[in-house]
Amino acid sequence: MSSRIPPVLRPEHPSPRPLARLVQEFSLAHTGELDGLEVTGVTLSTRDLHPGDLYVGVPGAKVHGASFAEQAAEAGAVAIVTDDAGAELAAGSGLPIILVPSPREALGGIASWVYRTDDDPPLLFGTTGTNGKTSTSYLLEAVLKQLGLITGLSTTAERHIGELSVVSLLTTPEASEMHALLARMREAGVRAVAVEVSAQALSRHRVDGLVFDVAGFTNLSHDHLDDYADMEAYFQAKLPLFDPDHARRGVVCLDSPYGRRIVAGSRIPVTTIATIGHADPEDVAVAEWTVEVLDETAAYTGFRLTGPDGRELVTREPLIGWHMAANAGLAIVMLVEAGFQLEAIGAALEADGGIQAYLPGRTERVSGERGPSVYVDFGHSPDAFENTLAAVRKFTPGRTIMVFGADGDRDATKRHEMARVAAEGSDILVITDHHPRFEDAASIRATLLEGAALAEHQPEIHEVSPPEQAIRVAVSLAREGDSILWAGPGHQDYRDIRGVRTPYSARDEARAALREAGWA
């Protein structure tokens, strides 16, 4: 058992800035003497506080960050930035106190100032939406690399600085970490960065102080309704990315009905893209760019991207399913909007190792030549299940076996629908555990069984815990020609059980199960 918290990437050679200047430039009230104090970093966690940091005490869901002011002082913080409530809590710490109405809202601007991230920034791409934002970000990175740029990446899976890779804790890091990451990227010569932007990040000001050159929207469907009151609130959380504070221009995919609403609510110039046969025909008719899937196999998808002024790109990429062609189309149009020529992008796609780029755990085939095809996927919403199951079924001569569990302590309202969609699209369903967190795994499975019972089509259903056992049961039931789709864990290398991250890889478990069954 181990609990591993990924490191926060910071600049290796921070350049100190006078704290008095920050207060002056931002017109902030303060108590305590600031003259002579220099700041080299910013954090909102004492667990990641370096001497010389400004500690930003935010009111959290559980506790006010300012209640850790004394620990911050002991760890070498130069001052604390907080609100009125925080100032009372920090009074005994001996730290100078800089007052702001909302520390979370102030964090992005302050971090940008400390790390000087608005000084010659790289090309910034930000992608949001329920499904496809990680894949789109990886695709952007892959093509940008082929175009000759040193790239950076921030996704739910990993952060990349050129060739350096570190696993992620949050999908979108807190603003202090985001700006530290960008400063570290600058040291490494990074000139283009693809960032996955979650709704929670927008609601919590995690991308404040960044202006994306191009913002992308994939789609919106049921997710995160533990955090948002309803779909409308979830939609509204995404909209600020399409605001001049956050992006210069946008590319909006119209495949879900929310695309049209993003266009209507956007306050920046946007261009649109839609997938023929999947978006509403009226949206396809008005979209400036269209994606048309031409041919598909279990190994690749060929598609045509058509844009204004007769622009066209026909390509065949090692991506599975129409939804991946939609993500690729979005990434390509985002690059066009950033000023790259479609022809150059086409050449980058054709180049060896281009988009072959590693898309870890995105309908990743982990089986070999013999035996059932086994795919591990990261999708964990009903919509993602539907698309991935449809793609897998299409190339499966035999039966489709699905293995999945649901997140504990995350949106419980989607569990019935996830299970119903999974039952509808599979011949055999193996219901198992995912990250139980602090919930009871057996009762999550019971809810999933209830949801599966709502499907019109009833597959053979097994309930197997833990997931290491579930994949072995699935493999033992599979025959040559069958496919197994294990949805949820994707690239992740741990399971969260009662707050402890236990090392575990679905990809490794699936390979081991195939070996033990004599298929590999």
Ligand X SMILES: CC(=O)N[C@H]1[C@@H](OP(=O)(O)OP(=O)(O)OC[C@H]2O[C@@H](n3ccc(=O)[nH]c3=O)[C@H](O)[C@@H]2O)O[C@H](CO)[C@@H](O)[C@@H]1O[C@H](C)C(=O)N[C@@H](C)C(=O)N[C@H](CCC(=O)O)C(=O)O
Extract the annotated binding site for ATP. Answer: 129-135
**Helix, strand or coil, per DSSP, at residue 209:** coil
| Interface contacts to ligand X, rule CB under 6 A | 44-47, 58, 60-63, 65, 68, 156, 170-172, 174, 198, 200-201, 204
Q: Is 67 exposed, middle or buried (0-12, 13-18, 19+ CB in 10 A)?
A: middle
Binding residues: 44, 46, 129-135, 171-172, 198, 206
Q: Which is nearer to ligand X, 171 or 367 (CB)?
A: 171
Structure tokens at 510: 């699936």
366: amino acid identity, one letter: V
Phi-psi sector, 120: left (phi>0), alpha (psi -120 to 50), beta: left
Other CB atoms within 10 Å distance of the CB of residue 244: 11
Q: Which is nearer to ligand X, 68 or 289 (CB)?
A: 68
Least separation in angstroms between residue 10's CB and ligand X is 15
Q: Which is nearer to ligand X, 203 or 373 (CB)?
A: 203
- Residue pair 228/234 in contact by the 8 Å Cβ criterion: yes
Task: Output the DSSP codes for 106-156.
Answer: HHHHHHHHHHTTTSSPPEEEEEESSSSHHHHHHHHHHHHHHTT--EEEE-S
DSSP letter, residue 437: B
Other CB atoms within 10 Å distance of the CB of residue 276: 16
User: 192: which strand partners?
Assistant: 123, 151
Q: Which is nearer to ligand X, 289 or 378 (CB)?
A: 378
Least separation in angstroms between residue 368's CB and ligand X is 31
Least separation in angstroms between residue 516's CB and ligand X is 32
Least separation in angstroms between residue 199's CB and ligand X is 7
Q: Which is nearer to ligand X, 13 or 62 (CB)?
A: 62
E-only strand ranges, 263-320: 270-275, 289-296, 301-306, 312-317
Least separation in angstroms between residue 76's CB and ligand X is 14
Sheet containing strand 53-56, edge to edge, reads 29-31, 97-99, 79-82, 53-56, 41-43
Among 103, 81, 116, 335, smallest CA distance to 209 is for 116
Q: Which is nearer to ligand X, 427 or 493 (CB)?
A: 493
Q: Which is nearer to ligand X, 63 or 91 (CB)?
A: 63
Least separation in angstroms between residue 515's CB and ligand X is 32
- Alpha-carbon distance of 475 to 482, in angstroms, equals 10
**Helix, strand or coil, per DSSP, at residue 303:** strand
Q: Which is nearer to ligand X, 4 or 47 (CB)?
A: 47
DSSP letter, residue 6: P
Q: Which is nearer to ligand X, 347 or 500 (CB)?
A: 500
Q: Which is nearer to ligand X, 55 or 303 (CB)?
A: 55
Rounded to 5°, the CA angle 484-485-490 comes to 135
Least separation in angstroms between residue 227's CB and ligand X is 6
Least separation in angstroms between residue 234's CB and ligand X is 11
User: 290: which strand partners?
Assistant: 274, 306
Rg of the Cα atoms in the chain: 24
Least separation in angstroms between residue 60's CB and ligand X is 2
Q: Using CA atoms in the order 128, 279, 426, 458, what is the torsion angle rounded to 10 degrees?
A: 110
Rounded to 5°, the CA angle 380-385-387 comes to 130
Rounded to 5°, the CA angle 372-492-366 comes to 20
Closest-approach residue to ligand X (CB): 60
- Work out the end-to-end distance of the chain between its first and last CA atoms, rounded to an integer number of angstroms: 29
Least separation in angstroms between residue 61's CB and ligand X is 4
